[in-house]
């Protein structure tokens, strides 16, 4: 099964001829879809339900698909799209969005599923009213408050079927529990919070006798409602939960087996991944020979070598030999299993070992130990299910070391797989974006917050949105030194393309030591909140956010100049300029966003409104005598209330906090003769906010050499000073002549010194 670099996020849309007023369209949203999944190779009509769907023309998918809007639904707030997925598409959880004149919707999780879909019928809240379903099907529905829902299946003697509820994994609020009952109501199987399935449930059962059987589905807390939706899968699929190994290196091949329940007879899958494969994850399906339905897992795509344990490796003498820097993959498949990986390290090497389990469906909690050659433990960590287990260690001497991996609670199964990343410990950073989409009004600006987790690096991080469509621009934004949160803005031209979803990324770049480093901002935190606290949103949708262009806002803001340059005890003035639509002439209130910690410590932005009927205002930005030096960014929001309409527009402002001045000096010649003259040229690099004369004083001149006092005028940056040598001037070379600069603004005094220059008197 070769995996190439073919596009994985493809969708087409047919535009509808719709006349509209831009102000009439709200941002679209998706509350649910019907069905919740689509079969590969089959054209399917999908009803999208939500808000702001008037004029929506595109259904975007994170997977390869062809889609086109066909019609409105039968009910208000519905749009129908025809979708076709390639026949070779892999089963898994994906994402969809819609786009229209109001912008783009937030991401909605959606399945590619080789089981056919049916809708839950109303009233199936007791066994007598159970909904009869085929043995190979997926039921889409929702659990009502205080309700149990029943489904009837016919099974043959000796038939084995698998059952799973996909709810939490689709972002549902439902915490499902599932029971299998015989015709008399006796419980045959039960599942709740199946390990590794994000609180979803799954089991397999072999029927001893032919007959009617019942499935009972409810919320474990008896809660319910429209947001407690589910996809109940019934089929001959194996109950796989994890891949083994967990990852495959780009440009390589691997044979992937599976962990889980009821996986006997499931054949491994052979994969090849191209070196330019664009994503960090692959969905892998698992079937039995002759099976008609699939289980599914996610496999990481890495840049490191992926070593796999060679059992038995419980004893030190049989430890699996790996190279330091390889990721290691193993399985805790029997109680008391102790996997040992031995490698050679050099003195001074510093590595981080990070366990990966639950994010890939494994229920394993790991107990990691790092051992010296004599067996002594030098580092240890236990994973209690809150965060991945991490060991950071600087090796004090050359030699062999062993990484010992055990299950924390001595639990074991084929699903208790793991991967340990081993990477050089470095100063770097990780980024998170506060939203999974930018909806920008045509000609306007949108904002989101980017936060950083700094791992030993506290310098500036330059942020840029990449992959933006024509007409949409990333406003330069900097997470300044020591700053961990900043508001980032993106602006749109008035004629930027609308009615489309544009996947994009936010990339942070920095120079760390002598190396260039960059990281892509994840949107996983935003998706967790969006999907009812789903602990691990699908990795393939956790890096990209969506950009959409919506109606023109009634006010648009810009700032000139785009960057304010000032410093300690200095101030700069910027002009905030508003473009107004006709009739929107009320005052525009300006505010720092966020109000708390929206600017670096010691910086003040004296915001004031743009007066009614006017289109600009001057804003003074100043720093006290302790402001940090460096590049930073800030954001303002402008709010206008015109009648019953309130419009808010953000704007980004660059802040460059620089030294008040620096200067350089150079002698215009090599030597100064007694009784002669020579010119010393002084150049001042002046902070634009320092609008004051600068007095210059020469220091350490040779005896007998003099110079008149000099001043650099407030509107100049250079001056020439004549050095005069008396007839009795001391001969020889002096190497420490400097120029001292002094300036005063109000009560603040500034001083700077040039580098030393050399002068020879002969």
Place of tokens 């915490």: 175
Residue extent(s) of CATH 2.60.40.10 domains in the chain: 2-112, 555-657, 661-761
Segment among 260-264, 274-278, 307-311, 581-585 with least mean pLDDT: 260-264
Average pLDDT, rounded, for the chain: 93
User: Between vectors from CA 447 to CA 446 and to CA 451, what angle results, nearest 5°?
Assistant: 160
**CA dist., res. 191 & res. 679, Å (int):** 90
CATH topology of domain 661-761: Immunoglobulin-like (2.60.40)
Give Dmax over CA atoms of the chain in angstroms. 122
Q: How confident is the model at residue 3 (pLDDT cuts 50, 70, 90)?
A: low
| 390-443 per-position pLDDT tens digit | 999 999 999 999 999 999 888 899 999 999 999 999 999 999 999 999 999 999
Distances (CA, A) of 423 to 245, 390, 394, 495: 18, 11, 12, 46
| 131-177 per-position pLDDT tens digit | 999 999 999 999 999 999 999 999 999 999 999 999 999 999 999 99
pTM of this prediction? 0.89
Per-residue DSSP letter, 602: T
Q: What is the DSSP string of 286-300?
A: E-BTT-SS-EEEEEE
Distances (CA, A) of 246 to 261, 281, 358, 383: 17, 10, 11, 18
pLDDT at residue 62, rounded to an integer: 95
| 82-107 per-position pLDDT tens digit | 999 999 999 999 999 999 999 999 99
Query: How far, rounded to the nearest angstrom, does the alpha carbon of residue 600 sit from its chain's CA centroid?
Result: 24
CATH topology of domain 117-236: Jelly Rolls (2.60.120)
- What CATH superfamily classification does 555-657 receive? Immunoglobulins (2.60.40.10)
Mean pLDDT of 231-249: 97
Q: Is the pLDDT of residue 189 over 50?
A: yes
Which residues, at least 6 apart from 625, have a Cβ–Cβ distance to it below 8 Å?
Answer: 568, 569, 602, 748
Distances (CA, A) of 592 to 241, 297, 633, 651, 669: 47, 45, 11, 10, 53
Encoded tokens for 387: 């965060």
Distances (CA, A) of 363 to 259, 366, 412: 11, 10, 9
**CA dist., res. 41 & res. 671, Å (int):** 87
Q: Is the pLDDT of residue 23 over 80?
A: no
Per CATH, domain 434-538 is 2.60.40: yes
Q: In terms of C-beta density within 10 A (0-12 exposed, 13-18 middle, 19 or more buried), how is residue 732 classed?
A: exposed
CB-hemisphere CA count at 13 Å for 538?
A: 26
CATH topology of domain 306-424: Jelly Rolls (2.60.120)
CATH assignment of 2-112? 2.60.40.10
| 674-693 per-position pLDDT tens digit | 999 999 999 999 999 999 99
């Amino acid at each position: 099964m070769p995996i190439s670099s073919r596009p994985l996020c493809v969708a087409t849309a047919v535009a509808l001829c719709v006349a509209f007023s831009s102000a009439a369209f709200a941002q679209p949203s998706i509350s649910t879809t019907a069905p919740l999944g689509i079969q590969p190779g089959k054209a399917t009509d999908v009803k999208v339900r939500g808000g702001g769907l008037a004029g929506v023309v595109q259904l975007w998918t994170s997977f390869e698909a062809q889609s086109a809007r066909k019609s409105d639904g039968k009910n208000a707030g519905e749009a129908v799209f025809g979708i076709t997925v390639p026949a070779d598409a892999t089963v898994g959880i994906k994402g969809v969005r819609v786009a229209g004149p109001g912008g783009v919707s937030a991401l909605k999780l959606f399945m590619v599923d080789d089981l056919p879909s049916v809708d839950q019928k109303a009233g199936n809240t007791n066994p007598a009213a159970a909904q009869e379903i085929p043995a190979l099907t997926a039921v889409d529905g929702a659990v009502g408050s205080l309700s149990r829902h029943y489904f009837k299946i016919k099974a043959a003697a000796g038939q084995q079927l698998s059952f799973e509820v996909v709810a939490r994994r689709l972002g549902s609020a439902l915490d499902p529990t599932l029971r299998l009952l015989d015709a008399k109501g006796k419980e045959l199987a039960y599942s709740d919070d199946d390990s590794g399935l994000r609180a979803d449930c799954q089991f397999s059962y072999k029927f001893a006798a032919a007959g009617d059987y019942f499935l009972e589905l409810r919320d474990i807390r008896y809660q319910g409602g429209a947001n407690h939706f589910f996809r109940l899968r019934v089929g001959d699929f194996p109950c796989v939960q994890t891949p083994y190994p967990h990852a495959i290196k780009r440009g390589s091949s691997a044979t992937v087996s599976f962990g889980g329940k009821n996986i006997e007879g499931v054949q491994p899958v052979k994969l090849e991944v191209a070196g330019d494969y664009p994503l960090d994850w692959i969905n892998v399906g698992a079937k039995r020979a002759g099976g008609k339905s699939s289980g599914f897992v996610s496999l990481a795509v890495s840049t490191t070598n992926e070593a796999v344990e060679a059992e038995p490796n419980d004893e030190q003498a049989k430890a699996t030999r790996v190279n330091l820097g390889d990721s290691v993959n193993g399985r805790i498949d029997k109680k008391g299993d102790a996997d040992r990986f031995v490698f050679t390290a050099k003195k001074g090497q510093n590595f981080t070992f990070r366990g990966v389990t639950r994010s890939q469906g494994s229920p394993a909690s790991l107990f990691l130990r790092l051992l010296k050659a004599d067996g002594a433990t030098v580092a240890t960590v236990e994973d209690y299910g809150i965060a991945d287990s991490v060991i950071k260690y600087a090796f004090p001497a050359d030699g062999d070391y062993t990484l010992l991996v055990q299950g924390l609670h001595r639990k074991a199964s084929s699903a208790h797989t793991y991967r340990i990343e081993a990477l050089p410990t470095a100063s770097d950073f990780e980024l998170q974006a506060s939203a999974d989409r930018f909806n920008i009004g045509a000609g306007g600006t949108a904002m989101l917050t980017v936060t950083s987790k700094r791992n030993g690096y506290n310098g500036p991080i330059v942020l840029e949105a990449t992959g933006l469509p024509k007409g949409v621009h990333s406003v330069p934004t900097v997470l300044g030194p020591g700053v961990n949160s900043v508001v980032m803005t993106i602006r749109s031209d008035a004629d930027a393309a609308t009615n489309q979803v544009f996947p994009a990324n936010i990339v942070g770049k920095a120079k760390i030591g002598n190396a260039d480093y960059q990281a892509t901002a994840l949107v996983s935190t935003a998706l967790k909140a969006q999907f009812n606290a789903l602990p691990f949103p699908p990795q393939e949708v956790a890096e990209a956010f969506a950009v959409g262009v919506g109606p023109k806002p009634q006010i648009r803001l810009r700032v000139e100049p785009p960057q304010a340059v000032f410093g300690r005890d200095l101030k700069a003035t910027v002009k905030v300029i508003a473009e107004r639509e006709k009739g929107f002439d009320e005052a525009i209130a300006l505010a720092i966003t966020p109000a708390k910690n929206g600017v670096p410590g010691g910086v003040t932005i004296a915001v004031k409104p743009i007066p009614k009927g006017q289109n600009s205002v001057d804003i003074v930005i100043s720093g006290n005598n302790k402001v940090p030096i460096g590049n930073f960014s800030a954001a303002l929001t402008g709010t206008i209330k015109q009648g019953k309409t309130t419009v808010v527009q953000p704007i980004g402002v660059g802040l460059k906090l620089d030294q008040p001045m620096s200067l350089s000096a150079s002698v215009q010649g090599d030597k100064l003769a007694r009784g002669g003259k020579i010119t010393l040229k002084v150049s001042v690099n002046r902070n634009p906010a320092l609008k004051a004369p600068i007095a210059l004083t020469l220091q350490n001149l040779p005896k007998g050499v003099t110079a008149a006092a000099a001043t650099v005028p407030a509107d100049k940056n250079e001056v020439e000073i004549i050095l005069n040598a008396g007839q009795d001037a001391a001969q020889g070379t002096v190497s420490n002549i400097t120029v001292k600069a002094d300036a005063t603004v109000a009560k603040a005094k500034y001083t700077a010194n040039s580098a030393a220059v050399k002068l020879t008197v002969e």
